[in-house]
Amino acid sequence: MAFDLCVEIFRRGKTDGRYAIEMDELPKAMGISPPDLQRALQLGVERAWLEHAGLTLALRAAGIYVAKTALDLPR
């Protein structure tokens, strides 16, 4: 799920120069239960794919790499 979260954020494009999503948009964007979303967030942060930036969740360099790998884009 954390993998899918990186892809979803990457597909949305950049916001203020970062690949990011508002925290309140996550449940609808991902379409998963709150407990599953919380586990995905925790795993993404533990693996340094994601970081909290105020009220947004942003991709870190490793998260961008994960998303590009999943989408078969040049890295």
CA distance 64 to 75: 9
Three-class SS state of 19? strand
Question: Distance between terminal CA atoms of the chain?
Answer: 21
At 13, is the pLDDT very low, low, confident or very high (cuts 50, 70, 90)? very high
* Domains of the chain (ranges, CATH numbers): 2-70 (1.10.10.10)
On the question of pLDDT at 34 being above 90, the answer is no
Residue type, 53: A
Residue 44 vs residues 2, 19, 50, 57, 67: alpha-carbon distances, Å: 5, 14, 5, 10, 12
Confidence band of 75 (pLDDT split at 50, 70, 90): confident
Residue type, 66: V
pLDDT tens digits, one per residue of 43-63: 999 999 999 988 999 999 999
